[in-house]
């Protein structure tokens, strides 16, 4: 399996997941042009993508959907709530509804030999999910845009090899920053985004001996820095009750505007 973030942050999110039987895009929040360029850098043509998996309908996760769907007709997998939310966005009437495949949270579905499971998350959209994917025992997940995590989330995401997980903001930077109070309150709410500290605590529950990579994703441009996110998560793991240290695993930060490192296993 091969995975790479093509772009990550409030300006657009898209993760490529390539398995031996299927190539997937998890969210298409970048322009069609940037998405195609990113795939080309990976040695792929967008015609090789078998499916788009949508986590939710916010623009930074679907901005490229209208053009990509019109030009390439790629099947779109989303919960019913997300599909309905997408169809209420500007220009959505140009999206062919027959491309949608409705999926249910906690109910696995197959794309060739790839097993995918939508996992319920808390975010301020209609029916948001994270995605866990697996092929031939290789397991990965993209877990962003959640305001909190629970034992349900930990159980649903156990045994992963590669984890793309949100580390959205440094709490001190957010509290002292220029965002209006109502926006700060939304980000810090249980339907907002995970802070660096929350991300470290969550990861400390997911780590196992078979972890290949931890990728920190969806960093805020205004309220975080890559080095702060990395150190906060690394330290949080080390100081947690887990048997692991923060340096036991390769932790990387997904760039906002360029490809992340490619994880292969």
Give the tens place of pLDDT for each residue, 159-217. 999 999 999 999 999 999 999 999 999 999 999 999 999 999 999 999 999 999 999 99
Same domain flag for 8 and 98: yes
Q: Give the Cα separation of 95 and 66 in Å (integer).
A: 6
Handedness of CA 163, 123, 149, 254 (dihedral sign): positive
* Same domain (yes/no): 17, 100: yes
Question: Are residues 94 and 155 located together in one domain of the fold?
Answer: no
**Which DSSP category does 50 fall into?**
-
Residues 6+ positions from 176 with CB-CB distance below 8 Å: none
Distance CA 151, CA 135 (A): 24
Tokens found for residue 139: 């397991």
83-102: b (≥16 Cβ within 10 Å) or e: bebbeebeebeebeeebbee
CA 159 to chain centroid, in Å, comes to: 17
Q: Are residues 177 and 223 in the same domain?
A: yes
Q: Domains in the chain: how many in total?
A: 2
Flag whether 128 is in a domain: no
Asked if residue 70 belongs to a domain, the reply is yes
Mean pLDDT computed over 103-128: 98
- Give the orientation angle of helix 65-72 with respect to helix 32-41, to 10 degrees: 70
- Shared-domain flag, residues 151 and 250: yes
% of the chain residues with pLDDT over 90: 100
Residue 85 lies in a domain: yes
Residue 53: give its domain's CATH number: 3.60.15.10
The answer to whether residue 265 is domain-embedded is no
How confident is the model over 27-75, as pLDDT tens digits?
A: 999 999 999 999 999 999 999 999 999 999 999 999 999 999 999 999 9
Tell whether 133 is covered by a domain.
Answer: no
- The strand pairing partners of 2, in sequence order, are 18, 264
Q: Are 9 and 54 contained in the same domain?
A: yes
Task: Calculate ∠ Cα 140-143-146, nearest 5°.
Answer: 165
One domain, residues 4 and 101: yes
Do 110 and 168 lie in one domain? The reply is no
- In this structure, are 12 and 100 located in the same domain? yes
Residue ranges making up the domain that contains 42: 1-116
Exposure class string for 130-156: b at 16+ Cβ within 10 A, else e: bbbbbbeebbbbbbbbbbbbeeebeeb
The token pair at 180 is 């209006």
- My answer on whether 107 and 29 are in the same domain is yes
Q: 154 and 237 in one domain?
A: yes
The reply to whether 161 falls in a domain is yes
Pairing of strands 100-103, 76-79: parallel
The model's pTM is 0.97
């Amino acid at each position: 399996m091969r995975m790479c973030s093509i772009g990550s942050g409030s300006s657009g999110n898209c993760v490529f997941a390539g398995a031996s039987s299927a190539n997937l895009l998890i969210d298409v929040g970048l322009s069609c042009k940037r998405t195609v360029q990113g795939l080309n850098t990976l040695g792929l043509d967008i015609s090789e993508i078998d499916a788009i998996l949508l986590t939710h309908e916010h623009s930074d996760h679907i901005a490229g959907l209208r053009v990509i769907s019109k030009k390439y007709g790629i099947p779109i997998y989303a919960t019913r709530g997300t599909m309905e939310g997408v169809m209420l966005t500007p220009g959505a009437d140009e999206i062919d509804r027959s491309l949608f495949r409705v999926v249910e949270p906690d109910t696995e579905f197959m794309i060739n030999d790839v097993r995918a499971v939508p996992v319920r998350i808390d975010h301020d959209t209609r029916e948001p999910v994270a995605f866990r994917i697996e092929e031939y025992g290789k397991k990965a997940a993209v877990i962003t845009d959640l305001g909190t995590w629970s034992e349900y989330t930990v159980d649903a995401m156990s045994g992963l090899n590669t984890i793309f997980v949100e580390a959205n903001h440094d709490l001190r930077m957010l509290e002292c920053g220029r965002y209006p109070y109502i926006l700060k309150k939304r980000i810090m709410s249980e339907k907002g985004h995970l802070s660096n500290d929350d991300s470290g605590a969550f990861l400390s529950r997911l780590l196992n001996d078979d972890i290949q990579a931890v990728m920190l994703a969806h960093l805020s441009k205004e309220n975080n820095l890559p080095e702060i996110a990395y150190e906060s998560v690394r330290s949080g793991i080390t100081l947690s009750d887990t048997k692991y240290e923060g340096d036991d695993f390769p932790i990387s930060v997904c760039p906002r505007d360029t490809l992340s490192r490619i994880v292969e296993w």
